[in-house]
């Protein structure tokens, strides 16, 4: 072998060895974690029941799935008392003497009847005839958010915004250029994916901003959380594997509606077609971690042959039953 060839061979070997060393360093700094313990978050429906699934198929469009996902430590805080005091101070609210879950006064009222979904609203909210751009609605919502929640990490999540045409009684979804009411969700994001609290189907906070630039309503989850820095990653599961896991009863229904009047039965799902899927992160309080889930949307049939519109979540990474 002549000297130039030896030189190129040495250079090539150096690149290979150097690449291996760099890859090893990255693996050391962000190690792969074993399968996560499977908690009730994976199988418990929003109404606290559990479902068995079979014969579910997915017909929707493929989505881009990364090879690995971050697993992130999360500290969950019940800030109910602090949040109620902050809202009361900011909006001059006073507790109702007959119902301590209702506060009112000034321009707003606050209902804390639902433990994980408080409702803040204007006492006399009149519909606006003006259109409001999303960017302007985000500025209004951000200012409003900072008026009573101090030192929080929540940020406006514009992909989750919705646009409505509202009157005094109803509001219907419409296009952005026709909307006189915009809902602006606030949450954490991990690598661009929104973070949800356990099996909740809505964002931690949603502000509804009118065309007049006022927050007319808000839904608030008093369980806020602090998100740490990711120190581990774990391999992703494909959509096909996730669907197979649901058909092996590793899934939870987080929303469901039926057109027929009667009891909502979720215990046994015997078939159905899932037509949409997206990725998101969820807080698992028991593990103190946030990790990724698939969120499927479609129509299923229960054992009573009732058709249900549902959303089903299942982990996008491997979990190990305990």
Q: How does pLDDT run across 273-303, given as a tens digit for each residue?
A: 999 999 999 999 999 999 999 999 999 999 9
Q: What is the CB-side half-sphere exposure of residue 72 using CA atoms within 13 A? A: 24
284 lies in which domain range?
32-74+230-321
Count of domains in the chain?
2
- Is 212 found in the same domain as 135? yes
At 91, the pLDDT band (50, 70, 90 cuts) reads confident
Rounded CA-CA distance 43/9 in Å is 55
Asked if the structure places residue 18 within a domain, the reply is no
Question: Residue 48's domain is classified under what CATH number?
Answer: 2.40.128
- pLDDT digits 0-9 by tens, 156-185: 999 999 999 987 677 899 999 999 999 999
**End-of-domain residue from the set 221, 254, 285:** 221
pLDDT value of position 184? 97
* Contact partners, residue 227, CB within 8 Å, separation at least 6: 72, 73, 74, 153, 188, 190, 195, 290
The pLDDT mean for the chain works out to: 85
Asked if the structure places residue 201 within a domain, the reply is yes
- Is 85 found in the same domain as 48? no
Asked if the structure places residue 153 within a domain, the reply is yes
Determine which of 102-106, 161-165, 186-190 has the lowest per-residue pLDDT on average. Answer: 102-106
Cβ-count burial of 129 within 10 angstroms (0-12 exposed, 13-18 middle, 19+ buried)? exposed
pTM for the whole structure: 0.84
- Is 243 found in the same domain as 204? no
Q: Check pLDDT > 70 for residue 220.
A: yes
Asked if the structure places residue 4 within a domain, the reply is no
Higher pLDDT, 254 or 24: 254
Rounded CA-CA distance 293/198 in Å is 11
At 4, the pLDDT band (50, 70, 90 cuts) reads very low
Q: Check pLDDT > 60 for residue 15.
A: no
Asked if the structure places residue 8 within a domain, the reply is no
At 77, the pLDDT band (50, 70, 90 cuts) reads confident
Least Cα distance to 79 among 263, 274, 261, 220 occurs for 220
Task: Using the Cα atoms of residue 280, residue 284, residue 287 and residue 290 in order, give the sign of their dihedral.
Answer: positive
pLDDT value of position 7? 43
pLDDT value of position 175? 93
Asked if the structure places residue 19 within a domain, the reply is no
Start-to-end Cα distance in the chain: 60
Concatenating the DSSP letter of every residue in 218-260 gives EEE-SEEEEE----EEEEBPPHHHHHHHHTTT--EEEEEEESS
Tokens of 231: 């120190």
Asked if the structure places residue 151 within a domain, the reply is yes
Rounded CA-CA distance 126/107 in Å is 12
- Is 195 found in the same domain as 311? no
Q: Are 107 and 93 in contact (CB under 8 A)?
A: no
- Is 84 found in the same domain as 216? yes
**End-of-domain residue from the set 185, 201, 221:** 221
Beta bridge partners of 109: 104, 121
**End-of-domain residue from the set 186, 221, 256:** 221
Q: Are 157 and 189 in contact (CB under 8 A)?
A: yes
Most confident region among 8-17, 20-29, 35-44 by mean pLDDT: 35-44
Pairing status of strand 102-105 against strand 319-321: unpaired
- Is 279 found in the same domain as 204? no
At 27, the pLDDT band (50, 70, 90 cuts) reads very low
Tokens of 26: 């990255």
Q: Check pLDDT > 90 for residue 65.
A: yes
Residue with tokens 């198929």: 57
- Is 240 found in the same domain as 201? no
pLDDT value of position 150? 67
- Is 204 found in the same domain as 88? yes
């Amino acid at each position: 072998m002549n000297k130039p060839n030896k030189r190129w061979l040495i250079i090539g070997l150096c690149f290979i060895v150097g690449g291996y060393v760099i890859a090893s360093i990255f693996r050391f700094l962000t190690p792969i974690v074993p399968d996560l313990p499977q908690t009730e978050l994976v199988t418990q429906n929003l109404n606290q029941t559990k479902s068995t699934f079979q014969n579910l198929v997915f017909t929707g469009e493929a989505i881009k799935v990364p090879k690995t996902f971050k697993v992130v430590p999360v500290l969950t805080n019940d800030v109910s008392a602090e949040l109620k005091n902050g809202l009361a101070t900011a909006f001059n609210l006073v507790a109702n003497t007959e119902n301590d879950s209702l506060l009112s006064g000034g321009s707003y009222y606050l209902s804390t009847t639902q433990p994980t979904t408080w409702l803040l609203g204007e006492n006399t909210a009149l519909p606006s005839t003006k259109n409001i751009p999303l960017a302007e609605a985000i500025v209004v919502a951000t200012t409003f958010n900072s008026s009573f929640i101090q030192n929080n990490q929540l940020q406006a999540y514009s992909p989750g915004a919705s646009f409505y045409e509202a009157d005094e009684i109803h509001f219907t979804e419409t296009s952005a250029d026709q909307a006189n009411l915009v809902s602006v969700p606030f949450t954490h994001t991990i690598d661009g994916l929104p973070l949800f609290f356990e099996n909740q189907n809505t964002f931690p906070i949603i502000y509804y901003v009118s065309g007049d630039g006022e927050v007319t309503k808000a839904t608030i989850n008093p369980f806020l959380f602090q998100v740490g820095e990711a120190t581990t990653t774990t391999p992703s599961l494909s959509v096909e594997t996730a669907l197979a896991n649901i058909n092996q009863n590793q899934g939870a229904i987080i929303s469901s509606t039926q057109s027929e009047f009667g009891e909502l039965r979720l215990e046994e799902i015997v078939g159905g077609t899932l037509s949409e899927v997206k990725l998101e992160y969820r807080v698992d309080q028991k593990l103190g971690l946030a990790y990724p889930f698939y969120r499927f949307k479609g129509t299923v049939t229960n054992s009573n042959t009732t058709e249900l519109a549902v959303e089903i979540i299942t982990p996008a990474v491997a979990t190990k039953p305990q």
